[in-house]
Amino acid sequence: MHWQPSSGMNVRRIAIMVAVVVGALIVAGRLTGVVVDWLWFASIGYVDVFWTTVSAKALLFVAVFAVSASVIAASGFLAHRYARRPGSWQVETARLSGTPEFISELADQLAPRIPWRASIAGSAIVLALIIAGGEISNWDLVLRFLHQVPYGDRDPVFGQDISFYLFSLPAYLAFKNWLLQLIFCSALVAAAVYGIRGDITFEQAPRVLSAAATAHGSALLGAFFLLKAWSYTLDRFLLLYGDNGVVVGAGYTDIHVELPVLWVLVGLAVIAAVACWVNMRRQDYRIPIGAALLVFGTSFVFALIYPALFQRLYVKPSELQLEMPYIKHNIALTRMAYGLNQIAVKPFPAEQELNLASLEANRATIDNIRLWDVQPLMDTYAQLQEIRTYYKFFSVDIDRYRLDAGYRQVMLSARELEPSMLPANAQTWVNLHLLFTHGNGVVMSPVTEKSAEGLPSFYLQDIPPVAHGGPAVREPRLYFGEGGEGYVIVKGSVPEFDYPKGKDNVYTAYSGSDGIGIGSTARRSLFAWQFNDPNILLTDYITSGSRILLHRNIQDRVRTIAPFLRLDHDPYLVTSNGRLFWMQDAYTTSSWFPYAQPGFDDGANYIRNAVKVVVDAYNGTVDFYVSDPNDPILRTYQRIFPGLFKPLAAMPQDLQQHIRYPEELFQIQAQLYRAYHMDAPEVFYNREDLWQFPRELIGIDGGNSPGTPMTPYYMIMRLPDEPREEFVLMLPMVPSQRDNMIAWLAARCDPPNYGKLVVYSFPKDKLVYGPFQIEARIQQNTEISQQISLWNQMGSRVIRGHLLVVPIENSILYISPLYLRAESGQLPELKRVIAAYGDRVVMRETLGEALAALFKESAPLGAQPQGTADARAREALAHYDRAIERLKAGDWSGFGVELDALRPLLEALGGGRSEGKK
């Protein structure tokens, strides 16, 4: 029987045409994406960033593709040149192995018909395309390697500058992996050629491999072992990232066992490579097998089994003594990687000396104690200020402003447009992309005040924004925000919806600077193809002056420009000079800092808040400001993108006043500082002074009984020994397995002290109630627990707010709001304020009343002489009573007047000594 190959040319032509069309569509999709990106980068003034990125990706792709295709093709062509000629050898092999005759005839007829050169070249191109496509993602790795700057500190084991680990080592590992792929693909193509040509067979033939196949395989195996030798040299540095359960980084076993073994493996791998190359002439299959057994067997025994036994039998019994130097390395470099070595430690006496005079002296702190939690306030905003169903508050931000009322901590939220919340029959293409294009306005309220109904007071409210003591907003429209998914087209023939006004609507037209011109047919066709939306091409509403706005979500916008930055999860809104801006904190991170404890889910162990990004909510302009000029990763990117980053001093002064220390970074630093405040290796090893976050009861009915870990919070306060109040981010700390408070950590946010971290530690011989202990005292208070139970039985739900630890002078005050919400409603009301100090806990309707009740007996009188002393005492008591009345009414000015009148009377009664703390 004779087999003839099919001659169905039509099928072949159709297949070729389909392949060409599919390939053309893929290429067209890629090219249109690049063109759209180019137009967008040019429209926002960052075209140089685009070309740097695209050029790096293109050059890397071309270089990797060219080298990969050449090496793989060379391997295939060598195999083709030296392989046996097809024909009788395959037939004889088939006969000896009992293969049916038609199969041997098939091999005899098929092999000569294969277009070998074209097939090998095509295979090499396909494999090279796959490899090069996978390597494109390493473009920034290559650029960082080429433009790296020194760190300035060295690792304690190898003495390498830390920049070697941040920039060079990752590039070397990526390069090694690419070479490994080259060797594998070269072997794959060569094996395919030899197999089809009959040089490789697993049947009972005279030889398993021909001489050519043996020589070729030995050459590739030798290259593999040489690459393995280099890999072992790189593995030495990877020891600094291990974790033996005691220390992250190289430990005693790593340095005294693993490191020498790696050097031995380097030597053995080189010997194996030489042996394989010698075998190109010797043609003995036992040589490569022996080389592989020598290298991998030694690696298994001496790099896996022996170190494990050494660690268990020798190191474990004397672990603290042997690991002590390496624990020191881990402590020092972890503190360096997260900036913990910059934390200043100061004592905090935790005295019990607060009184009315102390409150008056710290009125700015009292005026800014936050009574509104984010979630209850967002629910309230949604009910009172969303105005229409298609508006949405995505988040509530916390900031501070200098207003007529003074330095005030406020909470604010942008009223953004959410097109998906339009009625289903109104979600037309015109509405989604031409008519409803932007949000409108911002809501702002003070953190402490409330109305008689328990609702927030407003500094800014309504559409357009109306100011009641807050900053005026002249341009309230938000085209860019935390929503902003999808594109919109502005300056069309359809007027844009601006805001509702009674039964009518107000319309506007975009006059900002953002957008890509889309008036021409070519541009419309381009974007219709890019977004798979023919309406862009077919609609009559687009005019010659129309523009399309892309990347309107601010985080997507920033990531598109600078994908190498890690963004904080919480961008926040700022009003400045009548306009709205978004502030976005951005980080440089790395997973390659030696000896540092990983602090992220993805294994990153280094972080700096190196960049502050400002996005104009109307114009969409994006500015990157350098907030940490000493960060080596950012300095490297400044070399790569010289026009991208601006100095922080170039930020408008008014915006600089709203820079804040990011909560996400502070949380990470605090998490690590729980253990890494211990700088003595013995203490660290025994975890003798491990800290943890306090617990609190929050949510409906007080939350879960085990409590919820407390999160950092912003507040305005005067730090001990500082002359004035400032905006800080703080978090209390308690000992492990205990609830008493042991310290509190603060990050300063206001210039010129921005970024300074301070930990205030309490005396270890003094009990200071922690948040969870105060929570227990609140629950044990009969008056409070009965009131909560009564409310919960009346069709309402009590929501416990966050407990705030408020340091005032050298004492600690505790404040917690309590909200009430109808069981079927979504409008929480601030009904009570709980205050605690020392052993006392009170609950009143307002903060002023709570503080008045808490400190009604905190101004003790000294020994009083008779006669005039009695009159002075009565006069002092009258001033005191009036001061309490003013405090309850929230009249701080009147409270201060009465307190000023009270002081000289008390001084006279006390013999000239002042009882108030300054």
Cα–Cα distance, 438 to 408 (Å, whole number): 29
Q: Are 552 and 503 in contact (CB under 8 A)?
A: no
| Statement: residue 205 has pLDDT above 90 | no
Domain-located, residue 911: yes
Write out pLDDT tens, residues 235-259. Answer: 999 999 999 889 899 999 999 999 9
The pLDDT of residue 868 is: 47
Pair (881, 918) in one structural domain: yes
Q: Which of 658, 686, 712 is the last residue of a domain?
A: 658
State the pLDDT confidence band at 907, using cuts at 50, 70 and 90: low
Pair (230, 314) in one structural domain: yes
The pLDDT of residue 871 is: 57
Pair (327, 381) in one structural domain: no
Cα–Cα distance, 521 to 538 (Å, whole number): 10
Pair (484, 398) in one structural domain: yes
**28 contact partners, CB below 8 Å, separation of at least 6:** 529
3-state secondary structure of 688: coil
Q: Which of 658, 689, 715 is the last residue of a domain?
A: 658
State the pLDDT confidence band at 137, using cuts at 50, 70 and 90: very high
Domain-located, residue 186: no
The pLDDT of residue 481 is: 97
Pull the structure tokens for residue 473. Answer: 């907003």
State the pLDDT confidence band at 444, using cuts at 50, 70 and 90: very high
| Sign for the pseudo-dihedral over CA of 724, 725, 728, 730 | positive
Q: Report the pLDDT averaged over residues 843-872.
A: 66
Rg of the chain (C-alpha set): 36
The count of structural domains within the chain is: 6
Cα–Cα distance, 104 to 106 (Å, whole number): 5
Cα–Cα distance, 833 to 476 (Å, whole number): 34
Pair (484, 429) in one structural domain: yes
Cα–Cα distance, 51 to 47 (Å, whole number): 6
Could you give the dihedral angle defined by the CA atoms of residues 784, 789, 794 and 800, in that order, rounded to the nearest 10 degrees?
60
3-state secondary structure of 61: helix
State the pLDDT confidence band at 864, using cuts at 50, 70 and 90: very low
The pLDDT of residue 870 is: 58
Domain-located, residue 665: no
CA 62 to centroid of chain Cα atoms: 32
Domain-located, residue 495: yes
Domain-located, residue 53: no
Higher pLDDT, 635 or 118: 635
Write out pLDDT tens, residues 465-492. Answer: 999 999 999 999 999 999 988 999 999 9
Pair (545, 590) in one structural domain: no
Output the 3-class SS for 298-323. Answer: HHHHHHHHHHHHHHHHHHHHHHHHHH
Q: What are phi and psi of 480, to 5 degrees?
A: -135, 130
Write out pLDDT tens, residues 799-811. Answer: 999 999 999 999 9
| Statement: residue 106 has pLDDT above 70 | no
3-state secondary structure of 208: coil
Cα–Cα distance, 649 to 646 (Å, whole number): 8
Place of tokens 């090496």: 71
Place of tokens 């790593």: 254
Question: Which among 703, 782, 707 has a CA at the least distance from the CA of 739?
Answer: 707
Helix, strand, coil percentages (3-state) for the chain, rounded to 5, are 50, 20, 35
Pair (851, 876) in one structural domain: no
Q: Report the pLDDT averaged over residues 404-425.
A: 94
| Sign for the pseudo-dihedral over CA of 589, 591, 592, 595 | positive
0.85 exceeded by the pTM?
Answer: yes
The pLDDT of residue 264 is: 97
Pair (707, 839) in one structural domain: yes
Cα–Cα distance, 724 to 437 (Å, whole number): 44
The pLDDT of residue 15 is: 64
Half-sphere exposure of 547 (CA within 13 A, CB side): 16
State the pLDDT confidence band at 910, using cuts at 50, 70 and 90: low
Domain-located, residue 573: yes
Write out pLDDT tens, residues 610-648. Answer: 999 999 999 999 999 999 999 999 999 999 999 999 999
Pull the structure tokens for residue 452. Answer: 């008689």
Pair (292, 356) in one structural domain: no
Pull the structure tokens for residue 589. Answer: 């991170």
Question: Which among 586, 581, 650, 587 has a CA at the least distance from the CA of 621?
Answer: 581
Helix 9-44 and helix 554-561, axial crossing angle in degrees, nearest 10: 100
Write out pLDDT tens, residues 886-898. Answer: 776 666 666 766 7
Residue 398's beta-bridge partner residues? Answer: 411
Q: Which region among 193-207, 339-353, 552-566, 831-845 has the lowest average model confidence (pLDDT)?
A: 193-207
Residue 807's beta-bridge partner residues? Answer: 812
State the pLDDT confidence band at 858, using cuts at 50, 70 and 90: very low
Domain-located, residue 55: no
Q: In the predicted model, what is the mean pLDDT of the chain?
A: 89
The pLDDT of residue 103 is: 45
Pair (411, 540) in one structural domain: yes
Q: Give the containing element (helix H, strand E) for 517.
A: strand 516-517
State the pLDDT confidence band at 844, using cuts at 50, 70 and 90: very high
Q: Which of 628, 658, 688 is the last residue of a domain?
A: 658
Write out pLDDT tens, residues 149-192. Answer: 999 999 999 999 999 999 999 999 999 999 999 999 999 999 99
Domain-located, residue 526: yes
Pair (363, 374) in one structural domain: no
CA 429 to centroid of chain Cα atoms: 35
Q: Report the pLDDT averaged over residues 718-736.
A: 95
The pLDDT of residue 597 is: 97
Q: In this structure, are strands 757-761 and 344-347 parallel, antiparallel, or unpaired? A: parallel
Q: With pLDDT > 90 as the criterion, what percentage of the chain qualifies?
A: 75
The pLDDT of residue 198 is: 79
Q: Report the pLDDT averaged over residues 199-228.
A: 83
Q: Report the pLDDT averaged over residues 183-204.
A: 85
The identity of residue 610, as a single letter, is A
Enclosing domain of residue 893: 859-918
Write out pLDDT tens, residues 338-355. Answer: 999 999 999 999 998 898
The pLDDT of residue 866 is: 44
Pair (604, 650) in one structural domain: yes
Half-sphere exposure of 856 (CA within 13 A, CB side): 15
The pLDDT of residue 141 is: 97
Half-sphere exposure of 637 (CA within 13 A, CB side): 27
DSSP string, 249-315: S--HHIIIIIHHHHHHHHHHHHHHHHHHHHHHHH--THHHHHHHHHHHHHHHIIIIIHHHHHIIIII
